Amino acid sequence: MTALQPARPEPPDGQHEPPDGRGEPSDGRGEPSDGPAERSPAPSPSPPSGEGAGGGFGGGGRQTRGIVVAHVPFPVVDEISRHCPDESQPETVHIEVHLPGRVDPARLRTAFHRALARHPRILMRQAPVRWWHRRYIWQLTAAPDVDPVDFPPPGPDALARARRRALDTCPPLDASPPVRLEVIEEAGGGTVLLLTVHHTALDGPSCLRVLATAAELYGGADNPPGPSPVRATGPGTERPQADDPPGAGRRFSRPARIAADPGRAPQGGRSGNSMLLAELPIPARPPRTPGRTTAPYTVNDQLLVATWLMVARWNRLHAPAGPRRTAAAPAAAPVVITMPVDDRPRGVEMPLGNGTRLVSVGFGPEERLDAGPLTADPPDPDAVARLLRRTATRTRALKAAPPGRQLGFAATVLTAPVVPVRLRGAMTRALRTAAAPWTSTTLLSNIGRIPYPLDFGDAGRPTAVWFSAPARMPRGLTVTTVSVAGRIQLALRWSPALLDDAAGARLGALFRSSLAATAWTAPPTAGASR
């Protein structure tokens, strides 16, 4: 199926500051706040609620200010995101879970609220901040300020409208929790749970953990998670030497950009993102050979290669002719793909927040030598096989390397509380603009297999799950994949400043054929060759 839609760790014990009774944070030095406050970014208009919303987002429900039980300074990732808001490109994470049966509204609302109570780190809002403060502060609340669960009116376009809201409208940061759950009844009898998350506060895996707890409470069955990811060092996984970064290409080369479609329709200043959802088969891999415990490459490696092929083939088709043929051409600049790596445990002890670390997978000189065969239609199988082997070597080294800072040393320095946050924010925005040409080509977030059963009892287990990550310029494109029931659920999400909907659909078709090109085929047998 294809659907085109227009377009942190838990606070350590002993570090909780006692509430001052007014819900106000300290200024980072233990002094109470007063004076005019800078609020969190203004919340976008909430979606209309249907009958039975019971005070959900936009349902006319009364917003209260919950009692503050703890103050937590913004971690590095949260602060960098908070410094760089863009109303035209909201920082939302979209999670969409399709269930085969109907859910009971009251029972689901109760289960979700109980799940929030079991994971109190999600009950957070940004405290008012004064210009002289040296930190942004999360206030953890004893209860939600607003009911995050909403039941929009059913109808043929209810899901499309909910998706549009997920791409256009962030849950506000100044109301706990910064999450919205919309429950959409489908005509065929199924239910879609659509979570919208403000990415400044939380990432997708954190909210999936909370949803798994809600499923356990709703269905009454244990939802034990699968094993946590293991980054064991094996053959070929040694940390790369400083003078030989794997596949980095020319060290100071600007990464390639997704070429804009010169014939695209005007977008009329439309805000938000556009999105393409698709379901694809998992490409075959070669069988394991005797004595080898791991496959020569993983599905994640195949997804990385498919993303490279998609970008390179697209840029070759849309590269300007003649002397203007520059950064859009695969031979002119290396494709660099950012890949989140999540090492957190999957159980109820999972630290919530923005907990992934980002690594960059660089493709450079070897790919330029093979650019012709790789960007052919269809790509040359031998060239693709070579690229898969090189990519596997690169990703094994990156995953096995000791975890570093989430956003690097520069982000750690920028968020050090030595000057007021307003000054740090101005510096962060200036540096982000200056560094834009060196931003990676795109982001691939492969969730992999859902680690939880997500068993909602009589409503069933998911038949499909989609995630999508925000796509801000200059990248302008993100690729997110999940594996469900032996299929890959793909979400392409792009900025309308880069592509229109027709171009996004063509890019999705390129990804489909590029992923198929990574599938292993058995060599012909001797009998078949005669």
Calculate mean pLDDT across residues 162-174: 94
Q: What is the mean pLDDT of the chain?
A: 81
What does the pLDDT read at residue 239? 35
Give Cβ neighbours of residue 248 (< 8 Å, ≥ 6 apart).
334, 362, 364
What does the pLDDT read at residue 266? 54
Name the residue type at position 197. V
Q: How far apart are alpha carbons 84 and 41 in whole angstroms?
A: 11
- Helices 299-318, 381-400: axis angle to 10 degrees equals 120
Q: Is the model more confident about 487 or about 227?
A: 487
Calculate mean pLDDT across residues 231-243: 37
What does the pLDDT read at residue 263? 65
Residue of 110, 136, 63, 316 lying closest to 214 (CA atoms):
110
Calculate mean pLDDT across residues 273-286: 94
CA atoms within 13 A on the CB side of 377: 9
Please list the residues that pair with 185 across neighbouring strands.
191
pLDDT above 80: residue 405: no
Q: Which two tokens stand for residue 375?
A: 């960007």
What does the pLDDT read at residue 170? 93
Q: Which residue has the tokens 């439309």?
A: 270
What does the pLDDT read at residue 16? 36
Q: How far apart are alpha carbons 416 and 428 in whole angstroms?
A: 12
Which range has the worst mean pLDDT, 25-29, 132-136, 335-339, 514-518?
25-29
Q: How are beta strands 442-449 and 477-484 bridged, if at all?
A: parallel
Q: Which two tokens stand for residue 218?
A: 């709703």
What does the pLDDT read at residue 397? 86
Which range has the worst mean pLDDT, 118-132, 261-275, 433-447, 515-529?
261-275
Q: How are beta strands 442-449 and 357-363 bridged, if at all?
A: unpaired
- Cα four-point dihedral sign 514, 515, 520, 524: negative
Q: Which residue has the tokens 């995953």?
A: 399
What does the pLDDT read at residue 413? 77
Which range has the worst mean pLDDT, 110-124, 126-140, 146-160, 256-270?
256-270
Calculate mean pLDDT across residues 167-179: 94
62 pLDDT tier (thresholds 50, 70, 90): low
Q: Is the model more confident about 483 or about 289?
A: 483
What does the pLDDT read at residue 489? 97
What percent of the chain is predicted at pLDDT more than 90?
52
Calculate mean pLDDT across residues 156-172: 95
Give Cβ neighbours of residue 55 (< 8 Å, ≥ 6 apart).
61, 62, 146, 147
- Cα four-point dihedral sign 347, 350, 356, 357: negative
Residue of 307, 305, 297, 342 lying closest to 447 (CA atoms):
342
Give Cβ neighbours of residue 369 (< 8 Å, ≥ 6 apart).
none
Calculate mean pLDDT across residues 482-505: 94
Sheet holding 68-73, edge to edge: 68-73, 137-141, 124-126
Q: Which residue has the tokens 């239609």?
A: 377
pLDDT above 90: residue 480: yes
Residues 186 and 31 sit within 8 Å (Cβ to Cβ): no
What does the pLDDT read at residue 329? 45
Residues 441 and 257 sit within 8 Å (Cβ to Cβ): yes
User: What are the tens digits of pLDDT across the range 344-360?
Assistant: 888 888 999 998 888 88
User: What are the tens digits of pLDDT across the range 318-343?
Assistant: 876 654 444 434 446 899 999 998 88
Q: How far apart are alpha carbons 334 and 319 in whole angstroms?
A: 15
User: What are the tens digits of pLDDT across the range 439-457?
Assistant: 999 999 999 999 999 999 9
Calculate mean pLDDT across residues 289-308: 86
Q: How are beta strands 487-494 and 477-484 bridged, if at all?
A: antiparallel
Q: How far apart are alpha carbons 21 and 139 in whole angstroms?
A: 12
Highest mean pLDDT of the ranges 6-10, 262-266, 347-351: 347-351
Residues 316 and 370 sit within 8 Å (Cβ to Cβ): no
Read off the pTM: 0.83
220 pLDDT tier (thresholds 50, 70, 90): confident
pLDDT above 60: residue 275: yes
Calculate mean pLDDT across residues 390-417: 80
pLDDT above 80: residue 50: no
Please work out, in degrees rounded to the nearest 5, the angle formed at the alpha carbon of residue 404 by the alpha carbons of 399 and 299: 20
Which range has the worst mean pLDDT, 48-62, 192-206, 301-315, 445-459?
48-62
